[in-house]
Structure formats: C-alpha cells, structure tokens
Amino acid sequence: MTKPIDEVLIVGGGTAGWITAAYLARKLGANRPDGVKITLIESSQIGIIGVGEGTIPTIQTTMREIGVDEARFMRGAGASFKQGIKFVDWTTAPVGDVHSHYYHSFSRPHTLRGLDLAPYWLLGCAGDTSFSEAVTLQDTVCEAGKGPK
C-alpha cells in the first residue's frame, strides 16, 4: 500500500523556490486541513541578488493560477514588463563597432487579415529584414526604449 504524500520540502528560495512553493500550495490545497503541507527552506547567508532577473510571458498564467494580482505584484516587486530578449553577437562576432543581434520576441507574429506572415519571412520575402522586425513590433519597440504597459 502506498502512503499519500502529505508534505513537500522545497530547498532554496529565490524566485524559483517561492513561486514553486506558492504554486504547489495552491494546487495541493495547503490551506485545507487535509491538504499537503509545503515547507520552504532558504539560506540566511544568501541575500537578494537583484541583477535583472527576468521571466517569460507564461508567468502571467502562473501568477493567475496562484491567485496573485499582476498589478499589485508588479508594483510590489518594482518590476517592469519585458518585450523580448536581445541576443547581441549571438551568431557572428562583431566587426569593429558593428554588432549583429537577434530578438526573441514575446509576442506572436503579426497576421494580415488572418494570414500568418512568418512563412513569407522564411521564404526570403522580407529580404535581409530580421524575423522580429518583419513579423512583430517588439524589435522596433525595444530599440526605441518603449513598451506597451
């Protein structure tokens, strides 16, 4: 006979540890008498690193699932919304002061009257235009230092 799990121990805090603890607590009913007890331990010797830790768009779904209000969370954390990730000199070495870059956009490619533009970029229809510049606004928005929120 298998004994059901009634307690989970998470070793390590930080964003990953605390979000994991909150998610499991919500999903496993930690606030109910018959729920799974969630315990998190973290080092008192390791402080907040605070070096621009980032998330990807699915964090919004995760926060909704654990009952965290996005606006309150963003204000409390002093956070900002991220448009994508810019990889500089990812595929080629710089030549003098000329650098190449690639944007991993956090928005879906544009459609034109329901037509997905990405396959046309793959066929070379956009010439030398980068993927993110051809099918999303994020390249342009990021280079201008702007954002939607």
HEC readout, the chain:
CCCCCCEEEEECCHHHHHHHHHHHHHHCCCCCCCCCEEEEECCCCCCCCCCCCCCCCCHHHHHHHCCCCHHHHHHHHCCCCCCEEEEECCCCCCECCECCEEEEECCCCCEECCEECHHHHHCCCCCCCCHHHHHCCHHHHHHCCCCCC
Task: Assess whether 82 carries a catalytic annotation.
Answer: yes
Judge contact between 147 and 141, C-beta under 8 A.
Answer: yes
User: How high is the pLDDT of residue 92?
Assistant: 87
pTM (global) more than 0.95: no
Which member of 3, 82, 86, 149 is catalytic?
A: 82
Per-residue pLDDT for 37 more than 90? yes
Per-residue pLDDT for 148 more than 70? no
* 46-75 pLDDT, tens digit each: 877 665 666 777 888 899 999 999 889 888
* 41-51 pLDDT, tens digit each: 998 888 776 65
Radius of gyration of the chain (CA): 21
User: How high is the pLDDT of residue 120?
Assistant: 86
